[in-house]
Amino acid sequence: MSAPAEQPRSFRPVLGLPGLILFGIAFITPTAPFPVFGIVSSVSRGHMALAYIFAMFAMVLTALSYGRMSAAFPAAGSAYTFTRRSLHPILGFATGWTMLLDYLLIPMLSVIYISLTAARLIPEVPYAAWIVLVAFLITAANLFGLRITNHANLVMIVIMSVSVIWFIVAAVRVLNGSPDGFTWKPFYNPETFSLSAVMAGTSIAAFSYLGFDGISTLAEDTRDPRRDIGRATVLVCLIVAALFVVQAYLAQSLWPDFTTYPDVDTAFLDVSRLAGGDALFSLVTFVLLVAGLSSAVAGQASASRLLFGMGRDHLLPHKIFTYIHPRFSTPTFGVLSVGLVSVVGGLYFSFRLAAEAVNFGALFGFMCVNLCVVQHYYVRNAERGATGAFRNLLLPVAGFLVCLYVFVNLSSTALWIGVIWCTAGIIGLALRTRGFRTELDALIPADIPVE
């Protein structure tokens, strides 16, 4: 194999709007509320549907900001690139570094969950073997290019959609035959309502939406990124929000007493059996494995492109992370690195520990992207007036404040993991810049614009 420096360092644009939407839905997964149903329902005191609506507003506001910034800077680095070019190079590095934590943990979470479930179904195969096998399959899917990845995404989305439709139809049938079936209580129940409880549930429900931001990492894989990235990001948020609220409402209506779940962690399995019997129960169990696989494939693709963006700017090893496979147009070593992290992390991290930490990087990046819109459009480009103030100031500031509120309500474990990760990044950056004596922009080659 020839030296990486001789290989082309650009992606082949193969995606249009449908492909981006497919990728985003596969990353988030249509069944995202299934595994967290019991937790969100209990924490919000039976107001899961309302919690998902509140989370939707936060995510849609941020999705609008991602769309605006993708039109301004259609590059693979996503939030890292937006922040570096709009706010400050060091803050850009901090954003990229914290978002990298999110993108590394999402595929790792899926590998752990799939392996735990598989080990329970087939205990003869050791858990460690499942970790290696699942990580290998996910990595192989990403190494052969986004066309192959999107074909796999389509198959997995079809399987997940069947389970969602089945559950909705079955739940409506059961509720329609019950005198107290359809009720407003999943949105507001005066007997148990607490705003603080609902907002605590919202901070967990927001996890279900994570992945829409990954669409912007595919800007250099997209034929018309300035037009399609923003559209796809907002459309994916709205599509999954509608699905999530309907699922949350029906599941909460089927089992309104949030204090009686046999097992909070697997409560949705009991709800699915109540709605559709053992057949639906078995399908949902299988679909949870498919959803984990789908999210892991998309998460690894996004993480590898974030590594590419930071490597291209010489903030990570340049020759390693900017290598693009000449045939498959994939960041080969970035994909392999994420796969390796999934194996090592899967062997040493618990599912709960990784789940608690994943929101830190995402929410930090979301806040920075919202601020980027204000700086780039409202301050730098002076796009003001009535319309400009609404689009470029009020909306992104609202998105920032909502994300900040959710961020400060993260668990102490998530905050500590985030602080340790950020400290490691700052130390590495200090070494790279000789104690910050070298400007970050001086590290970037002249053929890559910094403004």
Domain that holds residue 348: 4-443
Does the residue 394 lie in any domain? yes
Confidence at residue 1, expressed as pLDDT on a 0 to 100 scale: 42
Q: Average pLDDT for residues 145-172, to the nearest whole number?
A: 80
The whole-angstrom distance between residue 427's C-alpha and the CA centroid of its chain comes to 26
Does the residue 183 lie in any domain? yes
Confidence at residue 398, expressed as pLDDT on a 0 to 100 scale: 93
Does the residue 34 lie in any domain? yes
Instruction: Find the range with the poorest average confidence among 155-159, 279-283, 333-337.
Output: 155-159
Number of domains in the chain: 1
Does the residue 227 lie in any domain? yes
Distance CA 108, CA 343 (A): 8
Confidence at residue 7, expressed as pLDDT on a 0 to 100 scale: 47
Question: What is the full DSSP assignment across 284-312?
Answer: HHHHHHHHHHHHHHHHHHHHHHHHHHHHH
Confidence at residue 8, expressed as pLDDT on a 0 to 100 scale: 46
Residues 6 or more apart in contact with residue 332 via CB below 8 angstroms: 143, 323, 324, 325
Bridge partners of 222? 15
The residue among 393 and 352 whose pLDDT is bigger is: 393
List, for residues 164-204, the tens digit of each pLDDT value.
Answer: 999 999 999 999 877 777 888 889 998 999 888 888 888 77
Does the residue 450 lie in any domain? no
Does the residue 451 lie in any domain? no
Does the residue 43 lie in any domain? yes
What's the CATH code of the domain at 27? 1.20.1740.10
The two tokens of residue 370 are 């919202």
Confidence at residue 9, expressed as pLDDT on a 0 to 100 scale: 53
List, for residues 33-79, the tens digit of each pLDDT value.
Answer: 887 888 889 989 999 999 999 888 888 898 889 888 888 887 655 77
Instruction: Find the range with the poorest average confidence among 272-276, 314-318, 421-425, 426-430.
Output: 314-318
Q: Average pLDDT for residues 386-394, to the nearest whole number?
A: 91
Distance CA 144, CA 229 (A): 22
Q: Evaluate if pTM is beyond 0.85.
A: no
Does the residue 448 lie in any domain? no
List, for residues 212-260, the tens digit of each pLDDT value.
Answer: 777 877 777 788 877 888 888 889 989 999 999 999 999 999 998 888 8
pLDDT averaged over every residue in the chain: 82
